[in-house]
Amino acid sequence: MPHSISRRHVLKQLGGATLALTQGARSFAQQPAPALVSADAWKKHGELFRHTGEPAGGWVQNFTSTVEPVEGGAWRVWSSISVPKEKGDLKQIGHHVGKPGGGWKHTTAVCTPGAPDAQAELAIGGMPEGWNPVQVVTLRLRDGRTRLYFWAHGKGVVRYIAADSEDGRAFKVMNALTPCIYHPADRAVDGKAAAEAGLARRARKKATPVEGEPLAPARLISNDATNVYQLPDGSFEMYSVGLMEVGKDDPRYAPQDNIPGLIRVIDRYTSADGLNWDNRQRVITPDPKDPHDLQFYYLSVTHTDRGRVGLLGHYRLDAQSIDIEACFSTDGITWQREQRKPWITRDAAGATAGSYLLHAPHALVRRDGLWHLFYTGGNFSHNHKDAHGMPDRAIMLATCEKLWV
């Protein structure tokens, strides 16, 4: 007869293995972060393209957006076109396909309230009338579907929603009335939830939801730049910008900012399905080592076999400039910021569009032995009160051979 194994023995063995794994994880977490290369390691290739054609007066950006290698050495750069408020306030998403030094074909997503447009090269159905998408994230899900995440802007609406597709062409909005997160200005945010989220100055806000639309819970009230990633186990993590209130007597209070009295910080959420989010944690805030005018405008994450490499939006309010700072984490929660200075340097005024504001994409991409960073450069200040020439944006490229020293 086979040798019998007692339940107690099995549990003891499993407990020992669990303890060993836990101790190993703790040991790994306690190890110093691998040193990231300096800014000198990056080779900048300048501008790849700016927006041309319709809509007139628009600016291109690949802020938070995915970049994918395609056949023939080309790239698919998912992108947004934004027309400033004074020129029409239009937003749309799509992608540009091309090669550095060559032409780029622009495809715009056709948005409809009903079924996805059957004739469009890229279509999003179920999009309520008057809603405009911006800052798209594209995920090729482990089950074969493709998912788009984006901020939707419309009358009374500023929310982060998702759209799924079986073929990568025709998408259907999944959660228009129950979004992933809400901006404080969204119609579904009321004063009680805003105050609970730490935004006491919005305590008197009156929500105006449509019929059948639930109110926004406090834990899902965020600000703006957002990135979503699917993890190896199939679950999801999301990084978004949270807000902290400070008084006028606080040295961090910045009257020149477009949201004076609010400090931008980075929050992380998790989800089993990428649609319903919880476990919100504040993961990066300015600390005493930082200048008083520093805030964090975004966090883009690249998952590597050594941990997560972050591209952190280093926003200096006094200068109204945004740089890309490097950071590192083994778990997505504890982030180490050893450099605390620009990883990608801005260009001289007038040289390129990348002289004032640098916005990171969804992630770095490894191809042909190089790490590729496609990013957005803007030649105007965040508050739009200064510019190096005619205000514009461009898609830029930088490469490096390795991320670690």
Q: Which of 258 and 174 is assigned the larger pLDDT?
A: 174
Query: What are the tokens at 218?
Result: 């406090």
Dihedral sign, CA of 366, 370, 37, 375? Answer: negative
Give the Cα separation of 160 and 137 in Å (integer). 11
Q: For the beta carbon of residue 113, count every other beta carbon within 10 angstroms.
A: 13
CA distances from 131 to 1, 46, 335 (A): 70, 33, 35
Residue 2 has pLDDT above 50, yes or no: no
Domains in the chain, ordered, with CATH? Answer: 33-183+222-400 (2.115.10.20)
Q: What percent of the chain has pLDDT over 70?
A: 92
pLDDT tens digits for range 265-296: 999 999 999 999 999 999 999 999 999 999 99
pLDDT tens digits for 176-215? 999 999 999 999 999 999 999 999 999 999 999 999 999 9
Question: Which band of pLDDT confidence, cut at 50, 70 and 90, is reported for residue 19?
Answer: very low
Residue 50 CA to residue 376 CA, distance in Å, equals 10
15 has pLDDT over 60: no
- Find where tokens 């405009």 sit: 132
Q: Higher model confidence: residue 202 or residue 22?
A: 202
220-267 pLDDT tens trace: 999 999 999 999 999 999 999 999 999 999 999 989 888 999 999 999
Asked whether the beta carbons of 244 and 178 are under 8 A apart, the reply is no
The closest alpha carbon to 360, from 321, 320, 385, 396, belongs to 396
Separation between Cα atoms, residue 28 and residue 36, nearest integer Å: 17
Q: What is the mean pLDDT of the chain?
A: 92
Predicted confidence band of residue 32 (pLDDT cuts 50, 70, 90)? confident
Query: Once rounded to an integer, what is the mean pLDDT over residues 156-173?
Result: 98
The three-state secondary structure class of 256 is coil
Per-residue pLDDT reduced to its tens digit, 259-273: 999 999 999 999 999
Residue 149 pLDDT exceeds 60: yes
Question: What is the spatial distance between Cα 278 and Cα 276, in angstroms, rounded to a whole number?
Answer: 7
* Residues 33, 334: Cα–Cα separation, whole Å: 11
pLDDT bin (cut points 50, 70, 90) of residue 31 is low
208 DSSP assignment = -
Q: How far apart are CA 165 and CA 131, in angstroms?
A: 19
Kindly tell me if the per-residue pLDDT of 14 is higher than 70.
Answer: no
